[in-house]
Amino acid sequence: SNTLRIAVLPGDGIGTEVTAATLAVLDPLAKRHGIGLAFEELRAGAFCYRDTGTAMSEETFASAAKADAILLGAMGWPEIRAADGTEIAPQLDLRFRLNLYAGVRPFRALPGVPVALADPRAREMDLVIVRESTEGLFHSRDRGTVTHDMAEETLRITRATTERLARFSFDLARRRAERRGRKGTVTLVDKANVFRAFAFMRAIFAETAPAYPDVAHATHYVDAMALDLVRKPWAFDVLPTENMFGDILSDLGAGLIGGMGFAPSADIGDTHAVFQPAHGTAPDIAGQGLANPTATILSAAMMLDWLAGRGAGQGFADAAAELDAAVDAAFAGGLRTPDIGGRDGTAAAARAVAEKIGAT
Amino acid sequence: SNTLRIAVLPGDGIGTEVTAATLAVLDPLAKRHGIGLAFEELRAGAFCYRDTGTAMSEETFASAAKADAILLGAMGWPEIRAADGTEIAPQLDLRFRLNLYAGVRPFRALPGVPVALADPRAREMDLVIVRESTEGLFHSRDRGTVTHDMAEETLRITRATTERLARFSFDLARRRAERRGRKGTVTLVDKANVFRAFAFMRAIFAETAPAYPDVAHATHYVDAMALDLVRKPWAFDVLPTENMFGDILSDLGAGLIGGMGFAPSADIGDTHAVFQPAHGTAPDIAGQGLANPTATILSAAMMLDWLAGRGAGQGFADAAAELDAAVDAAFAGGLRTPDIGGRDGTAAAARAVAEKIGAT
Ligand SMILES: CC(C)[C@H](C(=O)O)[C@@H](O)C(=O)O
Ligand SMILES: CC(C)[C@H](C(=O)O)[C@@H](O)C(=O)O
């Protein structure tokens, strides 16, 4: 089969470490499945901004946009900020400019990794937050108005994006239902009891639902969802929501399954997609080889699966499934990263996963 | 001492049940401490709206505003909505019109009540979210613009309110430090890495902090706080935040300590205050005598404490402390409400608490 081009943006801090670890796993995986992956490393992020004056050059953006998929580490650094005091986050620009409206963030417990909740059913948690990633409150990024006495931001919900988010969510629930062998449920998370914009969002989801009679459809207020994610996370399936709500709820979800080191993500649009761990650059442990690469490795599995869905071939789907299984097998086999109290650093974790490839 | 007037707004659904239970506890408590409380019951809420066309009449509002404090049950009902699709929530009007900027929501584990997290340190959780309750995203309530293609809401942060919120939070941390015998910490929860309005909020907190050298000061992004509330809630003290963020995080906090039935709250301004459980009207169990009145009883204790702070006298402070202790003693003594799998309904729970008054 053809070779696909993957733009790799390691970014800052532990971003570079988890990216290197992931590439070390992808290489043997690609060989084994006979799939062609060519990695093109590109520079962007906070240190790039400090050194060059721009967080991501137009040339870099163009190269990334031309690639078949984008794999990203993490970007940002507390001490390096824009003039308005906000952090350097070119990953947000990618979401906006490439129209990656669906921020897919799956959460499930890995074998042997302790979960936060006492209730044993928490290990059965298997849900996906679909964070709308191009509008909502984040529409206001770089647009907030500030005077001496007051500051304002604008939350925007559009019909066009909400319709696509709804269809994406129902399609995802349908595919998951096939894999899991039970009916899927899309639960829109909003605050329609107080805000017209969310009543608007709710109405658009209600218009989309009838086209998916095989998928159940529900709604939930965002505050009640924060409660229920702590009380019964095993009760949910696909949870589309507004950008800021999704940002908050997905960190909560990560907390439930052992932390950000276990939370992969994909920012998906109609033509492009970026795959990256949900975590940040972790200045406190950067450069020490301690970062858990699992979230990035699982994000790479999502990338292979997405490429398969775009016609890259069965080898990609098989490789994605095997990579997921290898991560499970590594943790089931005793892999313990420092974030869960273990001693296996970034390279050791990557080795443990690579060893399970072809062995599961 | 003088008799203080308490406006009582039971509201809808279980609001009326938990309010009645709380008054049944306050009566013997007031007698024992020789404090004069006169309760004036007022009608407001979703059913009031359905029956009279207004959720809270101007007359009711004026009576409530003239009282020394306001005790509120819960308001709203899913099937009764305003023309724009939002719910009837006159408690929000009270927050706005009486300028109750500090939404105080304390979270601690009660003896014998199961907590959500597996880590045993979760029982030591003792934190307070201070939800700004008059602006932020909620500034936009009733002001959102909706066209066929798009909806927008405005998040507003003002200097005046943020300064008051900051001082309130530092004062609260100072008082808590005295009671707890250790240094307090105010941690502002924001999203200053992305939004100018939150960088603005952060700057105002930084300006306020030096006036409180005895209180530590930190900042935390809202997504990271959602994670850390699940990972190490025992590490936090006073958490001021924007209105919408506070709404989400306080339901999360309630989930950690056994659910909304255990989460009291106070909406406090410079001249008025409303005390109410953080939970809603619970249509699914309303009218069955199953609601847990603990959150409302603890809210009433916050009310007595607030009145003491306003000069009502030591009897009020003593009564507040005894009411808190009675709730603890009741649960330590085996009280188990239906929301935690027990059989003690609303009236039984109130009786169990009342029995501990004077007995602890
Ligand atoms: C780093 C930050 C700008 C980013 C966001 O808020 O989207 C992060 O929290 C995320 O979830 O990807
Ligand atoms: C009922 C609802 C309008 C209210 C709010 O969002 O403030 C509630 O969730 C709360 O926390 O008091």
- Upper half-sphere CA count for residue B317 (Cβ side, 13 Å): 7
Structure tokens at A221: 């207020």
Dihedral pair phi/psi, residue A66, rounded to 5°? -80, -20
Q: Whose CA is nearest to atom 11 of ligand 1?
A: A247
> How buried is A106 (Cβ within 10 angstroms: 0-12 exposed, 13-18 middle, 19+ buried)?
buried
Are residue B49 and residue B126 in the same domain, yes or no? no
Domain that holds residue A241: 115-257
Residues from chain A that touch B236, judged by Cβ atoms under 8 A, are none
Stated length of chain A: 360
Q: Which residues pair with B5 in a beta bridge?
A: B38
Token pair 């019109």 is found at B97
d(CA A21, CA A327): 13
A12 in contact with ligand 1, CB cutoff 6 A: no
Residues from chain B that touch A195, judged by Cβ atoms under 8 A, are 86, 137, 140-141, 144, 153
d(CA B51, CA B137): 30
The residue ranges of DSSP E strands in chain A, in sequence order, are: 3-11, 36-41, 69-74, 102-108, 126-132, 145-146, 150-158, 185-190, 216-221, 238-241, 264-268, 273-277
Residue B1 binned pLDDT confidence (cut-offs 50, 70, 90): low
Are residue A175 and residue A135 in the same domain, yes or no? yes
Are residue B43 and residue B177 in the same domain, yes or no? no
The SS3 call for residue B69 is strand
Q: Which residues pair with A107 in a beta bridge?
A: A127
B153 domain-assigned? yes
DSSP collapsed to 3 states, A218-260: EEEEHHHHHHHHHHCHHHCCEEEECHHHHHHHHHHHHHHCCCH
Q: What is the pLDDT of residue B8?
A: 98
Are residue B210 and residue B268 in the same domain, yes or no? no
Residue B161 host element (H or E): helix B159-180
Tens of pLDDT, residue by residue over B40-75, are: 999 999 999 999 999 999 999 999 999 999 999 999
B108 domain-assigned? no
Are residue B268 and residue B247 in the same domain, yes or no? no
Mean pLDDT computed over B30-48: 97
Considering only CB atoms, A196 lies closest to which of B86, B199, B230, namely B86
Q: Do A250 and B197 make contact, defined as CB atoms within 8 angstroms?
A: no
Q: Do B146 and A197 make contact, defined as CB atoms within 8 angstroms?
A: yes
Domain endpoint, select from B257, B273, B302: B257
Are residue B98 and residue B122 in the same domain, yes or no? no
Q: Which residues contact B93 (CB under 8 A, 6 or more apart)?
A: B55, B56, B61
Token pair 């979210």 is found at B129
Residue B2 in this model has a pLDDT that exceeds 60: yes
With the most atoms of ligand 2 within 8 angstroms of its CB, the residue from B247, B267, B274, B281 to mutate is B247
Q: Which residues contact B350 (CB under 8 A, 6 or more apart)?
A: B21, B22, B24, B25, B293, B297
Q: Do B151 and A196 make contact, defined as CB atoms within 8 angstroms?
A: yes
Domain endpoint, select from B257, B282, B306: B257
Considering only CB atoms, B159 lies closest to which of A148, A194, A251, namely A148
Residue B157 host element (H or E): strand B150-158
Q: Which residues contact B121 (CB under 8 A, 6 or more apart)?
A: B232, B234
Distance from CA of A29 to the nearest CA of B (A): 32
d(CA A62, CA A70): 12
Residue B247 Cα to ligand 2 midpoint, Å, equals 7
> How buried is A341 (Cβ within 10 angstroms: 0-12 exposed, 13-18 middle, 19+ buried)?
exposed
Domain endpoint, select from A240, A257, A274: A257
A76 in contact with ligand 1, CB cutoff 6 A: yes
Q: String of b and e for B114-127 (b: at least 16 CB within 10 Å)?
A: ebbbebeebbebeb
Structure tokens at A261: 């080191």
A263 in contact with ligand 1, CB cutoff 6 A: no
Tens of pLDDT, residue by residue over B274-302, are: 999 999 999 999 999 999 999 999 999 99
Calculated CA dihedral for residues B114, B120, B123, B125, nearest 10 degrees: -130
Q: What is the pLDDT of residue A252?
A: 98
- DSSP letter for A213, please: T
What is the dihedral sign for C-alpha A195, B140, B255, B10? negative
A359 domain-assigned? yes
Q: What Rg, from alpha-carbon coordinates, does chain A have?
A: 20
Residue B74 Cα to ligand 2 midpoint, Å, equals 10
Are residue B152 and residue B99 in the same domain, yes or no? no
d(CA A104, CA A131): 6
A109 domain-assigned? no
Q: What is the pLDDT of residue A311?
A: 95
Calculated CA dihedral for residues B162, B163, B165, B168, nearest 10 degrees: 180
Provide DSSP, A28-86.
HHHHHHT-EEEEEE---SHHHHHHHS-SS-HHHHHHHHHSSEEEEEE---TT-B-TTSP
pTM value surpassing 0.95:
yes
Ligand closest to the CA atom of residue A129: 1
d(CA A98, CA A114): 36
Q: Do B223 and A116 make contact, defined as CB atoms within 8 angstroms?
A: no
Tens digit of pLDDT at every position of chain A (360 positions): 579 999 999 999 999 999 999 999 999 999 999 999 999 999 999 999 999 999 999 999 999 999 999 999 999 999 999 888 888 999 999 999 999 999 999 999 999 999 999 999 999 999 999 999 999 999 999 999 999 999 999 999 999 999 999 999 999 999 999 999 999 999 999 999 999 999 999 999 999 999 999 999 999 999 999 999 999 999 999 999 999 999 999 999 999 999 999 999 999 999 999 999 999 999 999 999 999 999 999 999 999 999 999 999 999 999 999 999 999 999 999 999 999 999 999 999 999 999 999 886
B110 domain-assigned? no
Are residue B201 and residue B242 in the same domain, yes or no? yes
Q: What is the pLDDT of residue A328?
A: 98
> How buried is B142 (Cβ within 10 angstroms: 0-12 exposed, 13-18 middle, 19+ buried)?
middle
- CA-based diameter of chain A, in Å? 63
Residue B360 in this model has a pLDDT that exceeds 80: no
Are residue B247 and residue B146 in the same domain, yes or no? yes
d(CA B108, CA A318): 48
Residue B83 in this model has a pLDDT that exceeds 90: no
d(CA B239, CA B125): 13
Are residue B122 and residue B251 in the same domain, yes or no? yes
A108 domain-assigned? no
Domain count, chain A: 2
Residue A201 Cα to ligand 2 midpoint, Å, equals 19
Q: Please work out, in degrees rounded to the nearest 5, the angle formed at the alpha carbon of residue A74 by the alpha carbons of A73 and A79.
A: 150
d(CA B149, CA B168): 41
Residue B85 binned pLDDT confidence (cut-offs 50, 70, 90): confident
d(CA B261, CA B29): 21
Per the CB < 8 A criterion, the answer to whether B303 and B266 are in contact is yes
Q: Which residues pair with B154 in a beta bridge?
A: A154
| Pocket lining for ligand 2, CB < 6 angstroms | A 193-194, 223; B 76, 89, 92, 247, 278, 280
Q: Whose CA is nearest to atom 12 of ligand 2?
A: B278
Determine which of B79, B96, B153 to mutate to test the interface with A (most A C-beta atoms within 10 Å). B153
CATH number of B237's domain: 3.40.718.10
Considering only CB atoms, A197 lies closest to which of B89, B151, B245, namely B151
Name the amino acid, one letter, at B208: T
Q: Please work out, in degrees rounded to the nearest 5, the angle formed at the alpha carbon of residue A179 by the alpha carbons of A177 and A184.
A: 10
Residue B137 in this model has a pLDDT that exceeds 80: yes
Are residue B133 and residue B199 in the same domain, yes or no? yes
Q: What is the pLDDT of residue A121?
A: 98
Per the CB < 8 A criterion, the answer to whether A103 and A133 are in contact is yes
Structure tokens at B236: 């936090």
Dihedral pair phi/psi, residue A229, rounded to 5°? -65, -25
A107 domain-assigned? no
A269 domain-assigned? yes
Structure tokens at A66: 């031309």
Are residue A39 and residue A172 in the same domain, yes or no? no
The SS3 call for residue B196 is helix
Name the amino acid, one letter, at B334: G
